[in-house]
Homo-oligomer: A and B are copies of this chain.
Amino acid sequence: MATPDLDSPPPRRGRPGYDREQVVRIAVQLFNEQGYDATSVADLAARLGLTKSALYHHVASKEAILQSALDDALGALEGALAEALATQDAAIDRLRHVVRGAVRVLTERLPEVTLLLRVRGNSDAERSALERRRAFDQRVTAIVRDAQREGALADDIDAAVATRLVFGMVNSLTEWYRPGGAVDPDRLADDVLRVALDGLDRPAAP
């Protein structure tokens, strides 16, 4: 019996060499194309050119991949919120900070955020993600309410509705922003804040 050669990597047997991060990235693309619920582990193995057992070497289950991608997107959004909350700025500036941060997260993690925005709560991973999205929204709503109290935002609109509409704009970027396309990501955050704060009927504040 041959002893394993400890100095060499194991033989590859001709299959592509993925690491876990690449498996998750390709899986998220496939989930976004055909829906998470409609994607089987067999579909995913076929896309990767792996057998199902080789795929299970990288990831424990389809839901583990989903969990990993949702954690990535939510962790980055929660990080942007924590940064905004850590400042001593006026509430209006904390709001600008979190909107800019969310746009940045969305452009940098477009597939993961797209997946996050499509989850419907059909599994524990999805329900937990929806719960974290709700907590995020509530904390941003509190910032909007503070900005209204501080007189920087008009208070004739409900803070929760205003927050949802602003994040409706941010989240809609997943529908049409394409990395490397004609629209500059830095400009996107300016445009969202410009519509949200100034309105379209007058030029942006300097």
Contacts and interface: CB of A to CB of B under 8 A. Distances in A.
A202 interface: yes
A201 interface: yes
A34 interface: yes
A86 interface: no
Interface of A: 32-38, 92, 118, 120, 122, 152-154, 156-158, 161-162, 164-173, 175-176, 183, 188, 191-192, 194-204
B195 A201 contact: no
Given A35-B37, A156-B203, A158-B191, 17 more contacts: A34-B122, A35-B36, A38-B38, A118-B118, A153-B201, A157-B191, A157-B194, A157-B195, A157-B200, A161-B188, A161-B191, A164-B176, A166-B200, A168-B169, A168-B171, A168-B172, A168-B175
A173 B161 CA distance: 10
A200 B153 contact: yes
A154 B197 contact: no
B203 A162 contact: no
B195 A198 contact: no
A200 B201 contact: no
A48 to B, nearest CB: 19
Contacts of A176: 164
B161 A183 contact: yes
16 contacts: A35-B35, A35-B37, A35-B120, A37-B37, A92-B201, A154-B201, A154-B203, A157-B204, A162-B200, A165-B192, A166-B195, A168-B169, A168-B172, A195-B196, A197-B200, A198-B201
A173 to B, nearest CB: 8
Given A35-B35, A172-B172, A191-B165, A154 B202 contact: yes
